[in-house]
Structure 1
């Protein structure tokens, strides 16, 4: 959803209306009560996520998710699986998600050694470049394995 919102260049107020429209059951009940205590005219998307995470992700859960993210390694995962897990976990570690250089560093350090080498040799400047290069490297390696 965030990618679509970013592409559409809509305001935080519109983003909040779109996101909360999707709430069902308990989330709808919670939001009806929570919005009464919030100033919706000044609430940002990040502020909303903080409120939502406080409700649905306890401190211990957020700590566990942050720890899992800090220890993430590609292992036997494909690049697509690793990227998905990486992107889900980064929300819980603001010291990395707020710094593009740290994000790139953490991503590349978690890659398998042979792919990490290719990504570093490519001179990837940001997370997107690193993902693109890692995908290419994985494809090349899979092609070599199939051919042999």
Structure 2
């Protein structure tokens, strides 16, 4: 049923067509209707738009809707070849990646073709989304700390290089809390007898001296006397050169 202005137009046109007893057919109505509301130049433009239609940046769903809309203005699809021709035209307008994936299937049912293209497009988008999320996770995992909060967290977890554990004992002076290469002390300690004031080169002891009992002939690890308590951080650690001597004597 026609509406408003169109209905008024048809009421005035019908008597003109029925002159001389002519029976108005659907073909006659369609011809007059298109002539009135869809002039030849407009129909020609719609045909060109249809022939040049490509998917481009549109989704498969939007491309199919535009295709169906413009196909109405293309008069060259007969009932016998309409389905086949629409499939060929639709397939040729698809984006290259979808066309390569779908084309070999040779689908010649229009609804089935649109459905297959849409499913492929959705699956591809989901795949690339997952891959993108994985790449972002890998990038963030290997990304160096950049924010102040991350730097503070890093400082809390990682020991500072410039800080030396208190348990470290200097080979040079016997004091705890620093290494011999950073020792500022001027007092030297002998690695042979453990006494301060001279080095091993100037030591008068012919034999190795036990750091525990101060007697000659054995080292502290072989000493049978009670071990002296280590107090005040003054006891020289049994490491370094003395350990090397012990290894040679064992």
- For the aligned pair, the TM-score class normalised by the smaller chain equals 0.7 to 0.9
CA contact (8 A) 1:91 1:97 kept: no
Give the structure with the higher percent helix: 1
Alignment-derived partner of residue 93 in structure 1 = 74
Count of residue correspondences: 124
Structure 1: segments with no counterpart, 5+ residues: 1-19
Alignment-derived partner of residue 78 in structure 1 = 59
Quick check: which has more Rg, 1 or 2? 2
Alignment-derived partner of residue 59 in structure 1 = 40
1:129 deviates by: 1.6
Q: CA RMSD in A?
A: 2.1
Cα 1:51/1:130, change in 2 over 3 Å: farther
Cα 1:138/1:65, change in 2 over 3 Å: same
CA contact (8 A) 1:83 1:131 kept: yes
CA contact (8 A) 1:79 1:134 kept: yes
Alignment-derived partner of residue 97 in structure 2 = 114
TM-score by length of 1: 0.72
Structure of higher RCO (CA pairs closer than 8 Å, 6+ residues apart) = 1
The answer to whether structure 1 residue 147 and structure 2 residue 126 are counterparts is no
Cα 1:144/1:24, change in 2 over 3 Å: same
Q: Which moved more, 1:94-103 or 1:23-32?
A: 94-103
